[in-house]
Structure 1
Amino acid sequence: MHTAVRITVQGRVQGVGFRPFVFQLADLHQLDGTVQNNMDGVKIYLKGSRKSIELFLQDLRKRAPRLSKINQITVEETEIQDCSNFTIIPSERSGTSMLVIPIDSAVCDDCLREMNDPDDFRYQYPFINCTQCGPRYTIIEALPYDRPYTSMKDFPMCDDCRKEYEDPTNRRHHAQPIACPKCGPKVGLLDGSGGQQDSENPIADTIELLKAGKIIAIKGIGGYHLACDARNEHAVTKLRTRKNRPMRPLAVMAASIKAALEFCEISEDERELLSSPESPIVILKKSSHYGLAEKVAPGMSTIGVLLPYTPLHHLLFADQELPCLIMTSANPSGLPILYKDDRAVQYLEGIADYYLVHNREILHPVDDSVVQLNDGKLDFLRRSRGYVPDPFTTTLDVSGIVAFGGQQKTTFTIGRNQQIFVGPHIGDLENVETIEHYGQELEHLLKWVDTPRWHAVMDVHPGYQAQHVVREYGFKNIIEVQHHHAHMAAVLDEHRISGEAYGIILDGTGYGLDGNVWGFEIYHGDGAEFERVAHLQYTPLPGSEKCIREPWRNAAAMLISLLGDEGVDLAEAIFPEKVSEIAILKAMVENKINTIYAGTCGRLFDAVSAICGVTRVSTYDGEAAIHLAELVDETIMHESYPYQLIDGEVLTIDFSKMLREISLAVLAGADIATVSGRFHETVVQAIVGAMVRIHEKRLAFEKIVVLSGGSFHNRYLRKRISEELSNRGFRVYVPETVPCNDGGLSYGQLAVAAAKRRVETCVSASLQK
């Protein structure tokens, strides 16, 4: 006896071959009905035996396509309709959106096999794709995800492509970017001024130009990259000079895992990350036989590596004489990634020698994601292509909440029901172009997510650009969240911790509620509220931002402030060429001229890095701390320097004695790697000691600790603090799916706002009773 059901599937179920999968599953179980995309997911109507429907539902979840992610399946019985087969029907564009926007995915093995098959009609076609790979988010104009609402609408399908597109048994059925050499996008080669080059094979010509040491701007899925031969010291130096990027490490794209093993070490877990559909840049250890140009990652023991993730990338590695390329985002300093052809030619003139372009428009630019394995767990330095805008789920109702993030490494986050959508990496909100880019991407995601605009959430810092941007959107309520509470709340929400916990937050800069700069904090609280229970002793930053750009100034001011006349003598001995300037810094500190006070992990690392002679002037954010951390041997148990914990209303961590000993050790010619290791261990022991002392006064509370803030990208700090606290009975949680740096700030802001709203709702309900 036949029965009928209506099934709603929500999650990442569009743009991943879900409808043809359902079609084939219905055929397997001899069921009639329909499947349809609409604004809240995929709708399925089934008619057949109850047993067959039960088997269908089991397979629906177990055998779903690899790029799909099912969040919810709803089944309800319905009237039997008159149908005698199973069909895929046109999408429905009305209704409230519950869609998960499809993400861009690395080219799959099936498509690569076809691309390399001389008998296939897509042989060497650089835009081959199917339902399991290719561009998605970057080409979407509107939802639901259908070809007329993407930038592929400009390429009418030929008969061969349409036949595959309309065949429910074909893996390209309703693959919206489907294309071939006859009907799809094409590549072209431009000279340095943007003039069209006469080239029969632009990709082959590009390979020869790269081998000749040229710098090529290459248009990819999410924007332009600048590429050159990673083994050619002259080419890498030229790229650095032209791009004005003297020290910041450059990412390397290797032709394969085998090619990458020629210059770096790769664990099994790192191999899986490199080869995943998301295909991020993975931070890896350089190997002992490292053979790339020294200026790829100067002074570093690690290197960022990714594998080819588009067909075009794979074709560029067809020549075995070119096994690895620099592949760095093509953006002028401080500006968003370039993705429009005319602006790329405008901004990259004088930087790129040639441009390898294509005529498929990029609608939403995305940078490459950057990850590392940190103490065996995933650690996002940048969450973007391949992951965005895939939503997180939460136990809180986050509808109508939009969080605007911070000033650096900015993202925004939008809440809908129990879904959290974190937008792509935007960058630093320091210029008009980046702010415009931020607004453009926010507007698109707000439209697609389709949630009310009830609560806008932003950092308390009065100077952040988000303070101005947020007021343009007409929200009913604006909530300000302290920077480090947002970091803490992000981890609490990620790990579903609803009660009280401790938060150890280490970063470079966060606006403090007392007007000073915070960034070395221990909090106690929950998602809604916090209490500051410990912090690093404040030291002056004479000249404010100049101390951040020139860490030697910060170091000298720190020594003067903490050690008085002895500190002046030490500063002059360590920086003898700066004696006259040190006198000026001393006067500024004593008279509080253009001087702010800070207690942050970032500035502490900057100071020690400068004292050790590692980095005295920074060319990019975090450089001093990164290079200091690179010196540490993580396999050695280091001895700590002395420090003090000063009791008070808020426990204060004082590193005066440590800085004195480090300064004397450096002047005595101590091994800098040993000094760095001992410094790191001192930070660990001071935090653990503070944590134990604090908890001894609060024994009623559970021993739950979350770690966050950008300084926890430091492998040694994350591992050793986690180990030491765990050994003392604390349960330690770290960010694994959201960056611990400011890229995760907007997520935490939204979590705080949702937690506050839940508390207010509970209080209101209690009062009404």
Structure 2
Amino acid sequence: MFSAINVIVKGKVQGVGFRPFVYALSKKHQLNGTVQNNIDRVNIILEGEKQQITKMLKELELSPPKLAKINEIHIYETQPVYYKDFSIIQSEINTEASVTSITLDAAICKECLEEMRDPLNRRFQYPFINCTQCGPRYTIINRLPYDRPNTTMSAFSMCTACQVEYNNPLNRRHHAQPICCAECGPTLTLLNKKGELLAENHTAVLKTIELIQHGEIIAIKGLGGYHLACDAYQEKAVNRLRLRKQRPQQPFAIMVKSLEIAKSLCHITVDEEKIITSSAMPIAVLHKKTDCALPEIIAPDLTTLGIMLPYTPLHHLLFEGNDVECLIMTSANPSGFPIQYKDTDLTNLQEICDYKLTHNREIVHPIDDSVVQLDERKLLFYRRARGFAPEVFTTNSTVSNIVALGGNQKNTFAIGKQNQIILSPYIGDLKNEEMNQYFEEQLKQYSKWYEVDIKNVAVDKHPSYSTTIFAKNYNCNIIQIQHHHAHHVSCIEDNHLDEPCLGIILDGTGYGDDGHIWGFEFLYGDANFYQRLGHLKYTPLPGGEKAVKEPWRNAVGMILSYWPNEGRKWLAKLFPEKLFEINIIEQMIAKQINTPMAGTCGRLFDSISAILGICMTSTYEGEPAIKLADKMNHEQVENSSTTYPYQIIPTIHNQLELDFSPMIYQIIQEKLLQKPLNPIIQKFHRTIVSSCVDMTLKIINNNPHLSRTLVLSGGTFQNNYLRKEIQRQLEHKEFNVYTHKNIPCHDGGLAFGQMIIAAKAISK
């Protein structure tokens, strides 16, 4: 029976070889018609035997190209045109269409890698080999749709051989937009500090390997920007890199030659292996083996390593035919500054690197490496970037003409169009003019790219955030959103919940409605409203931001506020070298000079970390808490239910206040008695879990009408033990507990929650 249908496929279906895939299927099933890209879909016309059409559609749905992600398939009967053949026709641009899911940069595929290693192949040792299943995508797009003239590859005219492959619907490189070869594509150059040419193409690769083996630091231009690379086994080189990059303690990521090398360094589960070998090839945080031979300086005082595999052809070439096994591969910028990605950025790298291995394929959209961790089978995002972002999320809310600017730390922003949210890749911490400018440039590009008419801007309530100040540049409606409400709603939306629910938000810093610093919150609500039902008792934070960078100050503030007299004696023993500063801090607290009041989980972890002597000065964001939590990995966690004491006190505002002073007192005494640290740390973690469960039960007892659905959000929930134990114990108490799935629990997810809250506010 003859039939004619129109098939519309939405999702990640551009730049993934979807049209040639459809073409090949049509030939297999003897069908005629057309396939065409639109800005947000692939449009297919099929004519032929109905039974064959059904078979083809089933195969299309069940076995799409590996980079494709089909979100929707719509099938409509249509009048037959009686096509004589099946053809791929030119892309159509429809500016009224919904947002397209942008094809993300993908790691080199197995087929391209084999060709690159084949001396008889014309792309032998070519560092820019790619096909429809791998290579640059997002980083080279100037505008949509994703066609070669709209990418930076338009600067390279295809040679005859590449053109033949590009035009052949049955070839793996049919309409692979970055297609190229040594004859017609980008070239490599190795430069010294003065910018003088030392070598080109494969000779440049060989010379780079030689320099790395001699302990040099090389700036290497990759997919989304420059990396700094050196031999991870050469401790002197790693030390020099730390000094030059001004990164004394923050762990470095390493790129290893193969999966086998990774397994020799770290414990790797089946699921971890799947994620580090996927097309995204992120940095995965893995647990080190006790006999790991890498220098401790790579990840000081931590039992984990951030490991990734080579994901570009150039990376593989750097490991070919030599004994280099592990490279430090860190973003090429001074700490706290934007990723370097422009050719003009080379001058900024002169003080950090010894040589530069660069190429002439322009990067339009810089992007960092993603950082993930698998906790059992759950994927956790520390940095949502290359291979995962930008991402388009569909929502039930109307978000058109809204921009959500996120927060100041781990910034991402979000743009709304119709019922879709475009969440940007990781930007970074907006703590200097350079980062602010980088943020503004990326936001401007996205607004232009998606043709968004910005009428509403959602920002954090903190009056001093760069994003709050930047929002004033827009002559439009500015919607201020409380920090932890945004966290709460980001997790609600991430799990597609549609009713008000409880939220435990454990976080570092957030500006509260009362002007104090919040961060240990028990909320109830949804995108329309929230109630604060409980929180941590406030203590002074002497010096404000200075106390965040020097956690011992935070500990001094807490101890003096709870025990003004005997606290001084304890402090003299805990921090004997800080007596002069302690006297000043005491006066600051008494006179309330630059001493905001804070009740945050992050600052509590900071204080305990300092009291126990684990981290006195924070050289990177979250260091005290990260090192404190990492101590849980050194030994088997005790199978114990013992906790430190704490108090839950009703307040005049009909809220519950959590007071940890009894716990802090006992921890101080145990530290002064030189008790072992691990039992203290484990008992501290159990106490946080116990207090959260008790607070939740008391809130429900006081408000029995509230839903027993609960979400967990905030940066502290990067702590796997806390997240799992709080979830486990509350589920045992018959709560429905949800954690983040696709959105980071930390401030990288704020913009997502801000967007939904703003949409509800506007709809009112």
TM beyond 0.5: yes
Between the aligned partners of 1:529 and 1:634, the Cα distance in structure 2 is 42
Question: Counterpart of 2:368 in structure 1: which amino acid?
Answer: D
SS at match of 2:264: coil
Match of 2:234 in 1: 232
Per-residue deviation, 1:431: 2.4
1:388 and 2:374 correspond: no
Kindly indicate whether the alpha-carbon contact (under 8 Å) linking 1:250 and 1:326 is maintained by their aligned counterparts in 2.
Answer: yes
Kindly indicate whether the alpha-carbon contact (under 8 Å) linking 1:251 and 1:281 is maintained by their aligned counterparts in 2.
Answer: yes
Question: Counterpart of 1:249 in structure 2: which amino acid?
Answer: P
Between the aligned partners of 1:164 and 1:145, the Cα distance in structure 2 is 18
Kindly indicate whether the alpha-carbon contact (under 8 Å) linking 2:410 and 2:747 is maintained by their aligned counterparts in 1.
Answer: yes
Match of 1:619 in 2: 619
Per-residue deviation, 1:11: 1.2
Match of 2:647 in 1: 644
Per-residue deviation, 1:390: 2.4
SS at match of 2:415: strand
Match of 2:743 in 1: 738
Per-residue deviation, 1:474: 4.1
Between the aligned partners of 1:272 and 1:256, the Cα distance in structure 2 is 14
Deviation per CA, 1:128-158, whole angstroms, max 9, x where unpaired?
A: 1111111000000011100011000111111
User: Cα gap change, 1:652/1:421 in structure 2, threshold over 3 Å: closer, same or farther?
Assistant: same
SS at match of 1:720: helix
Deviation per CA, 1:599-631, whole angstroms, max 9, x where unpaired?
A: 011111111111111111111111111111111
Match of 1:360 in 2: 361
Match of 2:324 in 1: 322
Question: Counterpart of 1:299 in structure 2: which amino acid?
Answer: D
1:721 and 2:716 correspond: no
1:754 and 2:759 correspond: yes
Kindly indicate whether the alpha-carbon contact (under 8 Å) linking 1:32 and 1:85 is maintained by their aligned counterparts in 2.
Answer: yes
Deviation per CA, 1:375-413, whole angstroms, max 9, x where unpaired?
A: 541110010110111212223332332211011111111
* Alignment equivalent of 2:665, drawn from 646, 660, 664: 660
Between the aligned partners of 1:704 and 1:375, the Cα distance in structure 2 is 23
Per-residue deviation, 1:414: 1.5
Between the aligned partners of 2:731 and 2:4, the Cα distance in structure 1 is 54
Match of 1:488 in 2: 488
Q: What is the root-mean-square deviation of aligned Cα atoms in Å?
A: 1.5
Between the aligned partners of 2:462 and 2:415, the Cα distance in structure 1 is 21
Match of 1:190 in 2: 191
Match of 2:243 in 1: 241
Between the aligned partners of 1:697 and 1:131, the Cα distance in structure 2 is 58
Per-residue deviation, 1:446: 2.4
User: Cα gap change, 1:752/1:374 in structure 2, threshold over 3 Å: closer, same or farther?
Assistant: farther
1:9 and 2:12 correspond: no
Between the aligned partners of 2:292 and 2:21, the Cα distance in structure 1 is 45
Q: Bigger CA drift: 506-515 or 47-56?
A: 47-56
* Alignment equivalent of 2:684, drawn from 679, 682, 685: 679
Structure 2: stretches of 5+ with no match in the other structure: none
Between the aligned partners of 2:170 and 2:196, the Cα distance in structure 1 is 44
Question: Counterpart of 1:364 in structure 2: which amino acid?
Answer: H
Match of 2:374 in 1: 373
Between the aligned partners of 1:499 and 1:292, the Cα distance in structure 2 is 50
Question: Counterpart of 2:233 in structure 1: which amino acid?
Answer: R
Match of 1:571 in 2: 571
* Alignment equivalent of 2:262, drawn from 260, 263, 278: 260
SS at match of 1:472: coil
Match of 1:435 in 2: 436
Match of 2:609 in 1: 609
SS at match of 1:278: coil
Kindly indicate whether the alpha-carbon contact (under 8 Å) linking 2:47 and 2:82 is maintained by their aligned counterparts in 1.
Answer: no
Question: Counterpart of 1:713 in structure 2: which amino acid?
Answer: Q
Report sequence identity in percent.
Answer: 48
Moved over 6 A (4+): none
Deviation per CA, 1:256-309, whole angstroms, max 9, x where unpaired?
A: 111012221111111111001111111111101111112100110111111111
Between the aligned partners of 2:447 and 2:25, the Cα distance in structure 1 is 34
Between the aligned partners of 2:418 and 2:68, the Cα distance in structure 1 is 20
SS at match of 1:726: helix
Kindly indicate whether the alpha-carbon contact (under 8 Å) linking 2:403 and 2:755 is maintained by their aligned counterparts in 1.
Answer: yes
Between the aligned partners of 2:443 and 2:343, the Cα distance in structure 1 is 22
Kindly indicate whether the alpha-carbon contact (under 8 Å) linking 2:637 and 2:682 is maintained by their aligned counterparts in 1.
Answer: no
Kindly indicate whether the alpha-carbon contact (under 8 Å) linking 1:40 and 1:95 is maintained by their aligned counterparts in 2.
Answer: no
Per-residue deviation, 1:654: 0.5
1:33 and 2:36 correspond: no
Kindly indicate whether the alpha-carbon contact (under 8 Å) linking 1:97 and 1:448 is maintained by their aligned counterparts in 2.
Answer: no
Structure 1: stretches of 5+ with no match in the other structure: 761-769
Question: Counterpart of 1:718 in structure 2: which amino acid?
Answer: R
Kindly indicate whether the alpha-carbon contact (under 8 Å) linking 1:428 and 1:434 is maintained by their aligned counterparts in 2.
Answer: yes
Match of 1:292 in 2: 294
Per-residue deviation, 1:683: 1.0
Between the aligned partners of 2:26 and 2:449, the Cα distance in structure 1 is 30
Normalised to the residue count of structure 2, the TM-score between the two structures is: 0.97
Per-residue deviation, 1:662: 0.8
Per-residue deviation, 1:69: 1.2
Per-residue deviation, 1:454: 3.4
Deviation per CA, 1:49-91, whole angstroms, max 9, x where unpaired?
A: 3333333322221121111111222222333225311111111
Kindly indicate whether the alpha-carbon contact (under 8 Å) linking 1:106 and 1:277 is maintained by their aligned counterparts in 2.
Answer: yes
Between the aligned partners of 1:56 and 1:97, the Cα distance in structure 2 is 26
Per-residue deviation, 1:119: 1.1
Question: Counterpart of 1:599 in structure 2: which amino acid?
Answer: G
Question: Counterpart of 1:727 in structure 2: which amino acid?
Answer: H
Kindly indicate whether the alpha-carbon contact (under 8 Å) linking 1:97 and 1:450 is maintained by their aligned counterparts in 2.
Answer: no
Between the aligned partners of 2:446 and 2:627, the Cα distance in structure 1 is 37
Match of 1:764 in 2: none
Between the aligned partners of 1:634 and 1:329, the Cα distance in structure 2 is 34
1:350 and 2:355 correspond: no
Question: Counterpart of 2:343 in structure 1: which amino acid?
Answer: D
1:215 and 2:217 correspond: yes
Aligned length: 757
Question: Counterpart of 2:356 in structure 1: which amino acid?
Answer: Y
Deviation per CA, 1:407-431, whole angstroms, max 9, x where unpaired?
A: 1111111222332211011111222
Q: Bigger CA drift: 176-185 or 369-378?
A: 369-378
